[in-house]
Structure 1
Amino acid sequence: MPTTLFVNACMRGAQSRTLELCREYLAAKQDVVEVDLSALRLVPFDGAAAGHRYDLQKAGRWDDPVFDLAKQFSSADEIVVGAPYWDLSFPAALKTYIEHVSVCDITFHYTEQGQAEGICKAQTLTYITSCGGFVEGANFGYEYMCGIASMFGIPETRFVAAEGLDVVGMNVEDQMNKARSIIAKLNGR
């Protein structure tokens, strides 16, 4: 059965409109595994941690828990990232997570010519977000995730956004429904 990996970067939990949209998208999926970044509380790699991980890689110690998130990401059939629009991109917890899953010889490797080549199983990465204003083509979080998907060998990225949710006088439900209509199309409804 295909596995959908849901990377939940909705830091506000149940109050998150992004999470609401994600749950609606995921309701059509059978086998969903969720990584809740709020609960996970990953820390960015410092020099010592990065060096330790590199030493484990060189020694072929792939059974070390430091590689678990990368293996989970690499083996998923579909990736869904839920992240609110914060500071022109997404919460820092998502960047830290990407740092943890970016592991040479698990999510990508280098060709003999020195080019990064993705080795993830997923065929799609769906990025779901919401924002208080209107992004107007400047969603650097989604653009970053498109780059990561390319590096990891995921051929298709898809985007769902509910925008303008904090604009005074905006009909929030209409804006959410626009995103829901995109979700319905992606889910074949």
Structure 2
Amino acid sequence: MTILFVNACLRGEDSRTLVLCREYLASRGDDVAEVNLASLDLRPFDAEMVARRMAQQTAGAWDDPLFALSRQFAEAEDIVIGAPYWDLSFPAALKVYFEHVSVCDLTFHYTEDARCEGICRARRITYITTCGGFVEGANFGYEYVCGIAKMFGIPETRFVAAEGLDIVGVDVEAQLDKARAQLARLD
């Protein structure tokens, strides 16, 4: 099974989220393709980029490198997203990545009755995060990922977090171990 690991851990090897992701992925034993958002230097779409993408879509030029990330995402059988909890959500690089991935006729399309229908192969997205504090019901990043999964036709989303890691007096290793235990229970 092909697993796509979307690495939004912008602090690199200093990221506790990345540590959890690497441990989880090592236990999968499958073929893992990693997209490291810190090294991609993706730009948000502007008018010129949208026009170029629309022209290539209209021409059916799906082999254009402009669509490489979208094709990779659409073809993955399982997706793992590692993203630290930043400002009630995730790093902006992940949102920009989703802009690049969200391509009509590659990750979704519209039916004859004008309904959006997802066409990705993935059976699930596993979203792994770490938080300096406690989220307490305000994880808008994961909620966004759930919405994108639905739009793309991915039937299952899963969430694992190690929280409270920057609070004085919190046992950081115990919190990480709780997250590790949750990850170990995932099939």
TM-score clears 0.5: yes
Letter in structure 2 aligned against 1:93? A
Distance 1:133 1:86 in 2: 10
> Which residue does the alignment assign to 1:95?
95
Distance 2:131 2:113 in 1: 41
Q: What residue ranges of structure 2 are gaps of 5+ in the alignment?
A: none
Q: How many residues align?
A: 186
Distance 1:186 1:24 in 2: 13
> Which residue does the alignment assign to 1:28?
27
Distance 1:25 1:92 in 2: 24
> Which residue does the alignment assign to 1:50?
50
Paired residue secondary structure (1:28): helix
Distance 2:6 2:38 in 1: 10
Paired residue secondary structure (2:166): coil
After superposition, give the CA deviation of every residue in 1:32-60 in whole Å (9 maximum; x if it has no partner): 00000000110011011011101110011
Distance 1:101 1:28 in 2: 27
> Which residue does the alignment assign to 2:15?
16
CA-CA distance at 1:113 after TM superposition: 1.5
Q: What residue ranges of structure 1 are gaps of 5+ in the alignment?
A: none
Structure 1 runs (4+) deviating above 6 angstroms are none
Q: TM-score, normalised by structure 2?
A: 0.98
After superposition, the CA RMSD in angstroms is 0.6
The percentage of counterpart residues that share the same residue type is: 68
Q: TM-score, normalised by structure 1?
A: 0.97
> Which aligned pairs between 1:1-189 and structure 2 lie closer than 5 A?
2-29=1-28, 30-187=30-187
